[in-house]
């Protein structure tokens, strides 16, 4: 075996040597192949179909979404005004006079103050009842008219406490109020009823109903009349007082008048029991100021005035004719005087 292997190797070597000894010019040499990187258009399209280039997308801008908030509704705060109770149609007359200074140097009250005082006087005299604006109290010989229960005597009867209602009617006419024809005539002749029983029988008659409506619609003009009457009486109070009491009367009058709501007790008492300027009148405003203890303006003055008023009224009842039984009125008088302690 070994000789055969050796012989094969020799033949192979010879063949190799013979190939290497040939002329190289007879052999066309091929240039070395180079790898071309040029890609034809067709190749490009083919590649493009195979792998589509990715489109460059710009990064998305992050936009913060804001929540829409509706504008706040502006709510206008309105001041609450309590509805006023309508009791009667508007009064057909001139408006109340604006605040001024009276000829006697005392300040007039504002229309609002006059209305409050008028409403309180109406409550004191009639309980705020329109049907009592034409009234006749038991045991009296005269009719009582309006919010102040102004006295109105029948024709030919002696006016013991003064005939004040005709003066009210004159004042209403001066302020533009047109009185019914029958009332204009009765203003001079006297009340058309001779007794309480007659007035009560005619209470629902057209004449009395017309009178009560007119008195209700002019209630604030009546309050203005009462106020002016009281103011005109103020300077006379000090002059009429006994010399040794004039300073006391002046001091007490100033203390009450300079208190809050102090004009109300002064005005109401003048309408209630008069000024007290006459010789036979011992329970009017002058007597209350003389009876009143010294006090400073404010609540102390109001309390002292109310206390003095009750002492004067109780003295009147003690000195009155027992047959008149004035004791029965004391309770109502006390209720009225107690309002003098309050601020209205």
Instruction: Express each pLDDT in 43-52 by its tens digit.
Output: 544 444 444 5
Decide: 252 and 286 in contact? Cβ < 8 Å. no
Say yes or no to pLDDT of 292 above 90: yes
> What are the C-alpha distances in Å from 262 to residues 111, 162, 294, 317?
16, 26, 15, 26
What mean pLDDT do residues 101-108 have? 48
DSSP states of 213-258:
HHHHHTHHHHHHHHHHHHHHHHHHHHHHS-GGGHHHHHHHHHHHHT
Say yes or no to pLDDT of 15 above 80: no
The pLDDT of residue 116: 94
pLDDT band for position 103 (cuts 50, 70, 90): very low
What mean pLDDT do residues 261-276 have? 93
Instruction: Express each pLDDT in 194-237 by its tens digit.
Output: 999 999 999 999 999 999 999 999 999 999 999 988 888 888 99
Of the spans 73-77, 159-163, 166-170, which averages the highest pLDDT? 166-170
Q: How far apart are CA 326 and CA 324, in angstroms?
A: 6
The model carries a pTM of 0.67
pLDDT band for position 157 (cuts 50, 70, 90): confident
Beta bridge partners of 107: 101
Taking each continuous run of H as one helix and of E as one strand, the counts in the chain are 13, 3
Say yes or no to pLDDT of 341 above 70: yes
Interacting residues of 117 by C-beta distance below 8 A, sequence separation 6+: 109, 223, 226, 227, 263, 264, 267, 268, 344
Instruction: Express each pLDDT in 16-52 by its tens digit.
Output: 444 444 444 444 455 545 444 444 544 544 444 444 5
User: How close are the terminal C-alpha atoms of the chain, in Å?
Assistant: 155
What mean pLDDT do residues 102-108 have? 48
Domain boundaries, the chain: 95-225, 241-344
Instruction: Express each pLDDT in 51-84 by its tens digit.
Output: 455 566 566 666 566 666 666 655 444 453 444 4
The pLDDT of residue 139: 83
């Amino acid at each position: 075996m070994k000789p055969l292997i050796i012989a094969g190797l020799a033949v192979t070597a010879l063949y190799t040597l013979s190939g290497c000894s040939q002329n190289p010019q007879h052999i066309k040499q091929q240039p070395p192949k180079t790898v071309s990187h040029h890609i034809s258009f067709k190749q490009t399209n083919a590649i493009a179909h195979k792998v589509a280039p990715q489109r460059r997308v710009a990064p998305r801008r992050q936009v913060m979404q804001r929540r829409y908030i509706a504008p706040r509704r502006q709510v206008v705060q309105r001041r609450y005004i309590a509805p006023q109770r309508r009791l009667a149609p508007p009064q057909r007359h001139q408006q109340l006079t604006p605040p001024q200074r009276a000829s006697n140097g005392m300040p007039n009250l504002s229309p609002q103050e006059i209305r409050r005082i008028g409403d309180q006087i109406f409550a004191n005299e009639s309980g705020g009842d329109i049907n009592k604006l034409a009234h006749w109290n038991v045991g009296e010989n005269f009719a009582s008219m309006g919010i102040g229960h102004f006295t109105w005597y029948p024709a030919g009867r002696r006016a013991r406490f003064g005939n004040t209602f005709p003066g009210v009617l004159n004042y209403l006419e001066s302020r533009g109020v047109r009185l019914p024809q029958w009332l204009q005539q009765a203003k001079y002749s006297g009340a058309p009823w001779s007794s309480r029983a007659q007035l009560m029988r005619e209470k629902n008659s057209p004449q009395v109903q017309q009178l009560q409506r007119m008195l209700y619609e002019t209630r604030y003009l009546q309050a203005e009349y009462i106020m002016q009457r009281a103011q005109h009486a103020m300077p006379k109070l000090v002059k009429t007082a006994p010399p040794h009491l004039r300073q006391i009367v002046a001091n007490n009058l100033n203390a009450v008048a300079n208190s809050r709501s102090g004009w109300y007790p002064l005005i109401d008492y003048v309408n209630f029991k008069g000024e007290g300027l006459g010789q036979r009148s011992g329970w009017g405003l002058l007597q209350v100021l003389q009876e009143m203890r010294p006090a400073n303006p404010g609540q102390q003055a109001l309390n002292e005035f109310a206390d003095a008023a009750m002492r004067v009224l109780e003295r009147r009842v003690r000195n009155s004719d027992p047959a008149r039984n004035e004791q029965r009125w004391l309770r109502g008088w006390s209720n009225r005087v107690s309002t003098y302690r309050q601020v209205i």
